[in-house]
Chain A
């Protein structure tokens, strides 16, 4: 069976269409979506309507949550202060144009989905806003998969796709507690993987193409897909709708505008 997983569409209807037809060409049997249907892009309503029409199981992304709950997360939701300011403008625009039934749909999305030994989340199992960057410590990464009980954890949110394999994890522990004898415990974990699905509508891997992944369960093989589409159309719509032009600039380049999170694993306590 082929499972297609996509994330971070961000109101980019052109990119979504291109990815859906590529999924069709690859003859995938199932599609999952990891959220961030809205935000940054010019077509939030059309994107949500398409996802609903196709009945694609979707978890709630950080943007979907913020549109429902209002922006109450701290600046740590964004990789930098500048990104935060621009993000706020995009949030206000999206908040204004979004249809009430679309908001309702976003509100009822689950935080995680499960299919056999596969788990699907937006950021991390602990928090929608946590960035599981590819360089996160291997043990931290392993904990994120183990906490779900699954073998493969699919996430998005960073907008750059990757496959991280964590094999033969083991820990040696000694526990001493008052009133009991000292005991040695060893822990081991078989192969676990984190698969980041990248971003359909706001890629940041250095090219403007949409990205998503396909998991072939029979061959146990993961393929990172990169799909060309007419991004200029989306760029024009961004400008026409009065969204910050920087979003069009970076969409055309597939860049995060050279800004990095200070502490990618930081989770807001608010």
Chain B
């Protein structure tokens, strides 16, 4: 099985997405699957073009599989299609003016596409999701407590959880663990039993569009369970353009 490219947070930055696509095509090992873990959009005018680019890949590019991110959820809430009725979180983070900015940035005809996106994707033994199995806002980082990480994995019975909410690239491996469990009910009492956890991991896949000139994403090789992080520099002065005479 060939590699997967997993990215998150294009955030309406077309140049960043193009740079990542170009980097994916440069890989020696062909990339077979492309997963986008949400935040394709942000309150930018370019978001519409990014959606169009994501939906219509070129012939030599894999068809991206996309799930909802935080910005997509906020957009759906504004259109009365979200899991909660009020855009409380959006206003808390960005102020009341953001409601109109986001509403205006994404044309209505794009909302249906956003609505069609899954909350998360499950492939082989991997959960691919923007935040976590709890919500799109759940931010997992290299400093998240181990038990919390394990909980997020076990909620969906995943061995690997790929996420993008923090924007960081990291590999968090739960290598081994044990706990001794015993149970007493009204009618019986079980002797203590040692329970072992099987190795699992959480992978932060970075962020494509937030930082101007620098995009990060992850490559995954399902056969060997190997993760590689890529940092792509793009734009003026980053060596991709021919020097003007």
Contact = CB atoms under 8 A, between A and B. Distances in A.
Nearest to B176: A172
A173 B150 CA distance: 11
B30 to A, nearest CB: 24
Given A143-B147, A147-B148, A171-B150, A226 B173 contact: no
Given A166-B180, A187-B146, A178 B151 contact: no
A10 B187 CA distance: 24
A103 to B, nearest CB: 22
A160 interface: yes
Contacts of A141: 181
A224 interface: yes
Contacts of A146: 145, 147
Interface residues of A, number: 41
B184 A163 contact: yes
Given A173-B175, A265-B155, A139 B147 contact: yes
Nearest to A160: B185
Which of B147, B206, B231 has most chain A Cβ within 10 Å? B147
Interface string A176-210: 11101000010101000000000000000110000
Contacts of B178: 168-170
A171 B175 CA distance: 8
Interface residues of B, number: 38
Greatest chain A CB density within 10 A among B182, B216, B231 is at B182
Interface in B205-245: 206, 216, 229, 231
A166 B180 CA distance: 6
A140 interface: yes
Contacts of A187: 145-147
B145 A137 contact: no
B142 interface: yes
Interface in A10-47: none
B142 to A, nearest CB: 5
A162 interface: yes
Contacts of A177: 142, 168-171, 204
A7 to B, nearest CB: 15
B173 A173 contact: yes
A178 B229 contact: yes
Contacts of B171: 175-177
Nearest to A187: B146
Contacts of A168: 178-180
B148 A172 contact: no
Contacts of A104: none
A166 B172 contact: no
8 contacts: A134-B185, A139-B150, A140-B151, A142-B147, A142-B179, A146-B145, A147-B147, A177-B171
